Amino acid sequence: MNDLIQQTAKYLVAARHVVALTGAGISVESGIPPFRGEGGLWEKYDPMEFAHINSFMKNPEKVWKIFMGDMKKVLLAAKPNDAHLGLARLEQLGILKTVITQNVDGLHQMAGNTDVIEFHGNFAWLRCLQCDKRFKTVEVDLSEAPPKCTCGGIFRPECVFFGEMIPPIALTRSQEESSQCDVMLVVGTSALVQPAAFMPVLAQQSGATVIEINPEPTPLTGRISKFLVAGKAGQIMNEILSEVNSLIQSQKQ
């Protein structure tokens, strides 16, 4: 058994308030590509051309057709993997309180987590740019790009584009949770995009133990995080859960 898995389990079982910050890496094992690194979306598309609000407003058809055309198939078919299910199990055990996610895929909610802060919004809802009505993405005909509302207006997804503000409630709640937690699990994020990447810094500065799960080191590694458990989120989470269960069992005896 990896010593860092044992240490992580001990921190989790002893904690008073655990928060997880997740990024695209946690959904890789569900078939959703990450943004950076091997096979990442930003290798294929220039984020400023396809994920900036100005590009979307200038040419929604292009953004919907290329970037979102690819994404919607993947997002609408994806299912939670062992890492999402592990975080849901940690909540059921009374250990994990809140998930702050940069992902727009809704997989944490699907896995069973009940307090999920969607830092970059979500793809589950679309909003009409003309009449402001919201519709569930699955209920909208996405065959034409851009999809249109009954009023004739163009739909946008409720995710945050580059150049847009973080939804204020998501930002405020994330700051509160990060400054109040005593353990933060940082799973599958490159920690390169602000202000999300500041949440572990806030947690650490407020006295929390920050633990990363990622196959690669990040700018937080060795500076903000206590340690990095290196590996894929699903497998690592299964090992952590198994150790957490043994610790709980031994405490009962």
162: contact with ligand OAD by CB under 6 A = yes
56-75 residues near ligand OAD, rule: CB under 6 A:
none
146: contact with ligand OAD by CB under 6 A = no
Q: What is the DSSP letter of 162?
A: B
Residue 195: cis peptide before it, omega within 30 degrees of 0: yes
Taking the C-alpha atoms of residue 176 and residue 61, their distance in angstroms, rounded to an integer, is: 38
- Return the SS3 of 225: coil
Q: What is the DSSP letter of 139?
A: G
Q: Choose the binding region for ligand OAD from 8-16, 24-32, 65-73, 245-253 (rule: CB under 6 A).
A: 24-32
Residues 113 and 87 sit within 8 Å (Cβ to Cβ): yes
40: contact with ligand OAD by CB under 6 A = yes
Assign residue 45 a region (left: φ > 0; alpha: ψ between -120 and 50; beta: otherwise): beta
Taking the C-alpha atoms of residue 42 and residue 209, their distance in angstroms, rounded to an integer, is: 31
**What is the greatest pairwise CA distance in the chain?**
65
Chain centroid offset of residue 48 CA: 21
Tell me the site size for ligand OAD, rule CB under 6 A. Answer: 28
25: contact with ligand OAD by CB under 6 A = yes
Taking the C-alpha atoms of residue 204 and residue 206, their distance in angstroms, rounded to an integer, is: 5
36: contact with ligand OAD by CB under 6 A = yes
User: Where are any strands of DSSP class E within 18-115?
Assistant: 18-22, 96-101
Nearer to ligand OAD among residue 160 and residue 244 (C-beta): 160
199: contact with ligand OAD by CB under 6 A = no
215: contact with ligand OAD by CB under 6 A = yes
Q: Using CB under 6 A, pick the residue from 216, 222, 223, 242 that binds ligand OAD.
A: 216
Task: Confirm whether 120 is a catalytic residue.
Answer: yes
Cβ neighbours of residue 46 closer than 8 Å, sequence gap 6 or more? none
Instruction: State in angstroms the smallest separation of the CB of 220 from ligand OAD.
Output: 10
Binding marks (x or -) toward ligand OAD, 171..190, rule CB under 6 A?
A: -----------------xxx
Q: Using CB under 6 A, pick the residue from 8, 13, 34, 68 that binds ligand OAD.
A: 34
- Which parts of this chain interact with ligand OAD (CB under 6 A)? 23-26, 28-29, 34-37, 40, 47, 51, 102, 120, 160, 162, 188-190, 192-193, 214-216, 218, 232-233
Which residues are annotated as catalytic?
Answer: 120
